[in-house]
Amino acid sequence: MDKNTATGFVLIFLLMLGWFYFTMPSEEELAQQQRDQAVQDSLALIEQNRQDSLEQDQDEVAAQEDDFSRQESIGQEDDDEVVVQGLFAQFQDTVQQKIKVTTPLYTAIFNNKGAGPSSFKLNQYDTWDGRPVQLIDDTTRSAYNIGFLSEENYNIETQNIYFDQVTRGSSITIAEGEQREIRYELTLDDGREVQVTYLLNGENYEVDVDVQFIGLQDYIIGGDIDFGWTAPLNFTEKDPTQDALETAAYVYAGGELEKFKLDEAGREETTINGNIDWTSTKTKFFTQVIKPLSPTDAAMLTGEVTGEADNANTDHRYTSSIRTNLDDQGAVSFRLYLGPLKYRELTQIDEHAYDMVDVGWSWLRWFSDPFVRWMVIPFFEFMSGFTSNYGIIIIVFASLVKLVLSPLTYKSYKSMAAMGELQPQMKEIQEKYKDNPQKQQKATMDLYRKNKVNPLGGCLPNLLQFPILITLWRYFQNSIMIRQEEFLWAGDLSAPDYIFTLPFEIPFLGDQIAGFVLLMTAAMMVQSKLTGGMSGGGGSSPMAGQMKMLQYIFPVMLLFIFNNFAAGLSLYYLIFNVLSILQQFFIKRSLHGDKEDKPAKA
């Protein structure tokens, strides 16, 4: 690194310090911020109590033993009720029926308004504040909708139509290994029918649905229907910004995954034509997937963002649907998935469904995907059979990665040590040819060649480690395996482990500091200092001074970068750096011992 580059780093660091000083709020501003925060906390508490009350009321209604079919008609209760036109208009005003489904994995409420699930709670997953994860945002009707254009030129949406619940009772319990059906029918005056049948399993998050239009093929223009998910997925994490960053709609077609995400506030739609393998919407850790079992010709994705992405009050609404063709009997079939972004479960739906999880940048997916699928996930699953503490599993994994990379690291440190031994001779060359850069460069290369030293020997082994480090950097932030797993003071390894709250906010850092990040920064400073000593950077040359400065600047920069990342990621790098320090220490002693042995033998 030349003098100009080092000077640039110093100036950037000084500018950051100046920015922190001049933007630090006054005591009056701090007091006002505290008052504003108190108001926001009060409003949040009120909203939380309201949501808890609504959910409690909903559970009480769902648990009632009397049949929901005897409930009074609610067709005219909503002022904004959509008016259904055409042949289906006669079914606009009818009775609402609900049926509660309980399995070991989820508790769902199916609604005859739209003939589908209007509530889907995951029994084994909670939100950050301890409530069961509720996937569906709009609980007044089915989250799934069937749309088509009628011969009367009306857009028919089944979400606005009340079906007859054929399945008897108001509740169903499905044990592991069992299967049960829920069926809805819509019978017209002339005998034509629409039948919707769900097949639910007690051992997974998959739901099969069959839709059949009896005698209505000619009524549907083109024989095409749109089947889709129209309810936004709820956020589940404490930091809604992180949830928002990973919220999007997806479609897999033609062997490629298409991601649809809005970068700014607004509403957009996109259509992907051709045969569709599957489509979905997801948040950071949860998803719903629609996989057609009938021929398709397009997928439609919509997105709506109501404000700035980093605003907690911004709504992120994504929907996905598939256009499919009715067969000769007027039937279509789909396989649905509603649940966590877990590898084994998603690959049962489609081998590419796990591609939605961000495991690395696109240019590195050729390495990241097989590394995560064939090494990281199997290792974590294997270790979970011995311990349920994922903090310990991360420590063991970091140790294993360090062990595998140790031959490369040894070559790197050995090359750096050799370069350090040549520092006095390199300094003589610089003094001798200080007015002739070309001769200086040639003499330096001759010195390297004579001593069989590769100047890139300390860099290339480290570059070979980067694909692993970058992959884990992305994956640990998005892996549901470590979500809400505790270790030491960290209550959730998938979220930052803040231990200090500052009375002011620092740009790019925030007003809280994470514990593992602080330890990681300290370990990196020790490692950088030790590396500088091995490479001969402890002298008084200008290069030595620059390296000494950088060994403190770089860890501080990483403190800013990693502070708001997952605690599991910081823990991994902390252990990796501590092991690097130990390895460097023993290598340094080994090289020092070799130097002493050579004179003794002589």
CATH number of the domain residue 175 falls in: 2.70.98.90
- 5 belongs to a structural domain: no
In a shared domain, residues 454 and 511: yes
- 10 belongs to a structural domain: no
- 12 belongs to a structural domain: no
Query: What is the count of structural domains for the chain?
Result: 3
Q: What is the pLDDT of residue 514?
A: 86
Choose the final residue of a domain: 357, 389, 411.
357
Task: Report CA-CA distances (Å) from 155 to 83, 84, 333.
Answer: 11, 9, 21
Q: What is the pLDDT of residue 298?
A: 92
In a shared domain, residues 347 and 392: no
Calpha distance 344→384 (Å, rounded): 15
In a shared domain, residues 224 and 236: yes
Q: What is the pLDDT of residue 522?
A: 85
Residues of the chain with confidence (pLDDT) below 70: 1-87, 90-93, 411-422, 434, 436, 451-464, 531-552, 590-602
In a shared domain, residues 339 and 409: no
Q: Do β-strands 316-325 and 296-305 pair in parallel, antiparallel, or remain unpaired? A: antiparallel
Calpha distance 107→64 (Å, rounded): 15
- 19 belongs to a structural domain: no
- 373 belongs to a structural domain: no
Quick check: pTM over 0.85? Answer: no
In a shared domain, residues 56 and 69: no
In a shared domain, residues 397 and 343: no
In a shared domain, residues 343 and 422: no
Q: Quick one: tokens of 435? A: 């007015």
Q: Do β-strands 296-305 and 286-292 pair in parallel, antiparallel, or remain unpaired? A: unpaired
- 362 belongs to a structural domain: no
In a shared domain, residues 70 and 51: no
- 534 belongs to a structural domain: yes
In a shared domain, residues 423 and 307: no
Q: What is the pLDDT of residue 47?
A: 55
Q: What is the pLDDT of residue 30?
A: 47
- Supply the range of the domain harboring residue 595: 381-601
Judge whether 482 and 476 are in contact, CB under 8 Å.
yes
In a shared domain, residues 69 and 50: no
- 7 belongs to a structural domain: no
Q: Which residue has the tokens 């803040």?
A: 498
In a shared domain, residues 469 and 411: yes
In a shared domain, residues 488 and 393: yes
Q: What is the pLDDT of residue 71?
A: 38
Q: What is the pLDDT of residue 526?
A: 81
Residue type, 533: G
* Triad 105, 106, 107: Cα angle to 5°: 145
Q: Which residue has the tokens 């789909």?
A: 334
Q: Which residue has the tokens 């079992």?
A: 293
Q: What is the pLDDT of residue 238?
A: 86
